[in-house]
Structure 1
Amino acid sequence: MSTPVLFKAYRTATAVLEPAVLGLLLWRQRKGREDRTRLGERQGYPSRQRPKGHLIWVHGASIGETLSLLPIVERLTQRGLAVLVTSGTRTSASLIARRLPPGAVHQFMPLDVPRYIRRFLDHWQPDLALIAESEIWPNTVMALDERHIPLVMVNGRMSDRSFQRWQKLPGIIRSLLERFALCLAQTQDDAERLARLGAPRVVMTGNLKFDAAPPPADPRVVAHLSGLVAGRPVWLAASTHAGEEGAIVAVHRALAKRHPHLLTIIAPRHPHRGPEVAAIAAQAGLRASRRSEGIHPDRATDVYVADTVGEMGLFYRLSPIVVMGGSLVAHGGQNPIEPAKLGAAILHGPHVHNFEDVYNAIDLARGALMVKDSTALARAVSELLTNTALTRDMARAAGEAVQALGGAVERTMQSIEPFIVQAKLGARR
């Protein structure tokens, strides 16, 4: 397989600029975006021993991708295979560490620098690599190919925006996709785009996120907080982004007179923004408290900022109405599957292209409703707070729509079975 000139230039540039990449890591660490105690992992230095026997490497970029891979990880460990799970964010690392089954370990994904990738692969020596969604890093893909380690894209995505960008670099993307042993796509559209870009072996298996278990929550904590908010109208703005919290606070102010003792829970997508979100509420004259400070919502709390990691299962269980963040601004929307599985009526803005098929399915089933602006959002929240029967009907419809779209885990496992057999037999070596 030929290597495009642009890729050779990329490999050379990332090698030459390694000192600058290290500087970037240190800057990110100072900003709280990297774990200081595990910074070496981002340079390919291992912090764990390699398990004995055959090992499968599974990678997801962030929380959503990594959690969607958990059922695959569990199936692999049940087969007696060791599994290395990598991700790229602190929040995903914190969350995944609590949910990995025995036989699986977590490391941070090294940055796509040739020496970092060599160091990583020299230590872990995976027999198979499963990369989630659209994580196509050139040096990593080429290094796996050079070592004859089969590479499979699972839960593959290729949005129309990414497709248009890659079409401007046809030689590079074709050279990279040709090195994937198999691409398992979420949708038929994803499959067709991957094939048109040069992937020689593509199968549509569906979205793993439909099969992921809902996020857990300690029943005692759920019962305690449910008691604290009992009798109050509650709604949740989940995984919000900058520019959305102001609208959420404005909706609270608009609804507070009609719905006395209204409690608005805001869970920012990035928990470190908790102080910023609380300040937005305070500037609007509302009383805000933050979960990260160990404060529980009391009768005086207007806005409760859920700025912790790994507790979305708790807040989805507390609120019958969930507004999905990332959809009121042009971010593309956050995944609505978890609240649908936990019995919430779902509202979302117009910007949902990241999960367009999921939202279409739930909207069509009348389990979710699109609101175009904060005025429409206020009307919808008010209606759902008043009409509990409608809220229950929407929640049930959302859950049924998500359940009907399941089965991707089984199809994925069937598709990668030949590679698992190969790994267990040690055929590559």
Structure 2
Amino acid sequence: MARLALLAYSLLFYLALPLVWLRLLWRARRQPAYVQHLGERHGFYPPLAARQRPLLWLHAVSVGETRAAAPLIDALLAAYPDHHLLLTHMTPTGRETGSELLATHPGRLQQAYLPYDLPDACGRFLDHFRPRVGLLMETELWPNLIDAARRRRVPMALINARLSARSLRGYQRLSRLIGPTLASLSAVAAQTKADGERLQHLGARQPSVSGNLKFDVTPPADKLQLGAQWRQAVGQRPVWLLASSREGEEALLLDALAAVGVADLLLVVVPRHPQRFAEVAALLAARKLAFRRRSSAQLPGSETRVWLGDSMGEMAAYYALADLALMGGTVLPFGGQNLIEAAACGCPLLLGPHSFNFAQASDDAVACGAARRIVDAGQAALVAGELFAQPEELLTMRAAATAFSQAHRGATARTMALIETLTGPRKGC
């Protein structure tokens, strides 16, 4: 039955390929990088050096997963000095983020796109790179890829794994396909006990709980310094950040902005996806709001109402600038974005009702006083106004955010211990 489900899935994927290509072309209108390295998406790669070191392989689909993987990448390369590491992605922004790590590990890191989850493409990928182990970040469950690795006896682990209750309900409809896929994994390391229980219910065999790797990510010192420079330029103005906003959320917050009641407030808006930068700029222009764009290299002036953060890789700097942040993706039902980076930068948070992608971390942040819940953009504006009128409360939240971040560290070491069970002990242990 499992084999029939996999065959049906593969057939449907092949039939859907024209739509996949059209979607790729559509996205390339705004991000031309989507049509680069097209051969890799079908399992065709440049020849490797004749004497290739043993290879570890880590898949981080996009920006968030790649940044979360940074401490693990450092640990892997330190623990396996005779190995190279292959870092794969699915998006250009993920690949661009990963390229920043290449300079820190010259000659030992290489990048590629993971191919589409088709039997022949996955087979070519594994036969080309011949990894010693494969590590999939978070919820990257690709049935053909995992099946191809099983047949080639490449141990595969799902690490930093998370599965919301909503995602569980969706996957249960595909249980004949996803259940055997999870059961084929050599190991599963869940972020929380609840994630582990949901994964086990779906088919994972004895998942462990390692914590969230994102807590081990240290904000880049140069970005924190950049944020401090921005703060100095802005002066004493209260700064409210809409972080990683999603479609529709900017308009809702702008509608509610007057309710904050702070005359000299500076709103900083950082959209989640770069292809929406122009869209949000047009929205601000249509509302006749005085705004500047980060990409123009102009810092906010005294007349600036909104600063559009249309840059990549500077989220830590925006958090360092802000007095308070509203987490994007939580006002509307997108599930929220990574609040852990904000906490690591000591930035107090407001969280909307839709934080199911980071449910445990969100609840913990609220419980310890690092974040507050709001029900919609209107209430967010009212609560922000109250907090800006109580600077001592913002200082208390800032301290709680820092303590929250530090208290949850250690996932990298626990994940490394699990990886050892697949590869053998580290050198020197």
Q: Would you call these one fold, judging by a TM-score over 0.5? A: yes
**Which residue type is aligned with residue 418 of structure 2?**
S
For 2:224 and 2:174, how far apart are their aligned partners in 1?
Answer: 51
Q: What is the CA–CA distance in structure 2 between the aligned matches of 1:163 and 1:232, rounded to whole Å?
A: 44
Q: Check conservation: 2:420, 2:426, Cα contact below 8 A.
A: no
Alignment of 1:266-345 (within 5 A): 266-345=269-348
> In structure 1, what is the Cα distance between the partners aligned to 2:98 and 2:204?
30
Residue in 1 aligned with 2:101?
Answer: 99
Q: Report the 3-state secondary structure (helix = DSSP H, G, I; strand = E; otherwise coil) of the residue aligned with 2:117.
A: coil
Match of 1:28? 27
* Alpha carbons of structure 1 residues 24 and 378: separation in structure 2 relative to 1, 3 Å: closer
3-state SS of paired residue (1:267): strand
Secondary structure at the aligned position of 1:326 is classed as coil
User: What's the CA shift string for 1:230-282, capped at 9, x where partnerless?
Assistant: 12121111000111101222333333xx4233211000001221122122223
CA distance in 1, matches of 2:286, 2:130: 53
Query: Aligned residues, how many?
Result: 421
**1:86 maps to which residue?**
88
How far did 1:375 drift? 2.5
Alignment deviations for residues 180-206 of structure 1 (CA, whole Å, 9 cap, x no partner)? 011111111121222222222321111
The residue aligned with 2:117 is: 112
The separation in 1 between residues aligned to 2:228 and 2:70, in whole angstroms, is 27
- How does 1:12-411 map onto structure 2 within 5 Å? 12-15=11-14, 18=17, 21-32=20-31, 34-46=33-45, 49=48, 52-78=52-78, 79-80=80-81, 81-100=83-102, 101-102=104-105, 103-218=108-223, 221-255=226-260, 258-411=261-414
Amino acid at match of 2:263: P
SS in 2 for 1:351: coil
Compared CA separation, residues 379 and 33, structure 1 to 2 (3 A): farther
Amino acid at match of 1:96: G
Aligned partner of residue 334 in structure 2, secondary structure: coil
What amino acid does structure 2 have at the position aligned with 1:6? A
- Cα deviation for residue 422 of structure 1 reads 7.9
Structure 1 CA distance, aligned partners of 2:270 and 2:39? Answer: 31
**AA partner of residue 259 (structure 1):** V
CA–CA distance in structure 1, aligned partners of residues 238 and 396 of structure 2: 18
Structure 1's 43 and 205: CA in aligned 2 closer, same or farther, altered over 3 A? same
Displacement, 1:28? 3.1
| Cα displacement (A) at 1:342 | 0.7
Asked if the contact 2:230/2:299 (under 8 Å) is kept, the reply is yes
Q: Secondary structure at the match of 1:35?
A: helix
Structure 2: give runs of 5+ residues left out of the alignment: none
Give the share of equivalent positions with the same residue, in percent: 35
- Change in Cα spacing, 1:44 to 1:348, as seen in structure 2 (3 Å) is same
Matching residue of 1:427 = none
Alignment check: 8 A CA contact 1:28 1:34 kept: no
* Structure 1 position 16, deviation (Å): 5.4
The CA deviation at 1:362 is 0.7
- Mark the CA change 1:391 to 1:219 in structure 2 (over 3 Å): closer, same or farther: closer
Partners of 1:148 and 1:48 in 2: CA distance: 23
- SS class of match (1:92): helix
**Pairwise CA distance, 1:34:** 4.2
Name the CA distance, whole Å, in 2 between partners of 1:135 and 1:33.
24
**Distance in 2 of aligned mates of 1:77 and 1:154:** 17
Q: Structure 1 CA distance, aligned partners of 2:367 and 2:5?
A: 44
Find the aligned partners of 1:52 and 1:58 in 2 and give their Cα distance.
17
Runs of 5+ in structure 1 lacking a partner?
425-429
- SS of the residue corresponding to residue 242 of structure 1 reads coil
Post-superposition offset of 1:318: 0.7
Kindly tell me: are residues 41 and 132 of structure 1, through their superposed partners in 2, closer, same or farther at Cα, counting changes over 3 Å? same
| Whole-angstrom CA distance in 1 between matches of 2:279 and 2:174 | 40
Q: How many angstroms does 1:385 deviate by?
A: 1.7
User: CA contact under 8 A between 2:156 and 2:187: conserved in structure 1?
Assistant: yes
Q: Sort the Cα spacing of 1:217 and 1:125 in 2 relative to 1 into closer, same or farther, 3 A.
A: same
Structure 2 counterpart of 1:213, one-letter code: T
CA distance in 2, matches of 1:236, 1:224: 16
Bigger mean CA deviation after superposition, 311-320 or 8-17: 8-17
Please give the per-residue CA displacement for 1:59-103, whole angstroms capped at 9, x wherever unaligned: 122211221111111111112121111121222222221134412
Taking the aligned partners of 2:226 and 2:207, their CA distance within structure 1 comes to 44
- CA 1:224–1:158 in structure 2 vs 1: closer, same or farther (change >3 Å)? closer
Is the Cα–Cα contact under 8 Å of residues 268 and 306 in structure 2 kept in the other structure? Answer: yes
Q: Is the 8 A contact 2:60 2:94 kept in 1?
A: no
Return the TM-score normalized by structure 1.
0.92
Change (3 A) 1:224 1:423: closer
1:4 equivalent to 2:6? Answer no
| CA distance in 2 between partners of 1:3 and 1:423 (Å) | 36
CA offsets, 1:208-229, max 9 Å, x none?
A: 1121222553466435422321
Distance 1:193 1:220, change over 3 A: closer
Pair 1:423–1:130, CA change in 2 (3 A): farther
TM-aligned CA distance change 1:216 to 1:244, over 3 Å:
farther
Matches of 2:21 and 2:282 in 1, distance apart? 34
Residue 27 of structure 1 and its aligned partner are, at CA, apart by 3.5
Normalised by the size of structure 2, how large is the TM-score? 0.92
Tell me the distance in 2 between the aligned counterparts of 1:242 and 1:21: 22
Alpha-carbon separation, structure 1, partners of 2:120 and 2:140 = 19
Taking a change above 3 Å as real, the CA distance of residues 224 and 194 of structure 1, as seen in their structure-2 partners, is closer
Change (3 A) 1:61 1:231: same
- Look up the SS of the partner of 2:267 in the other structure: strand
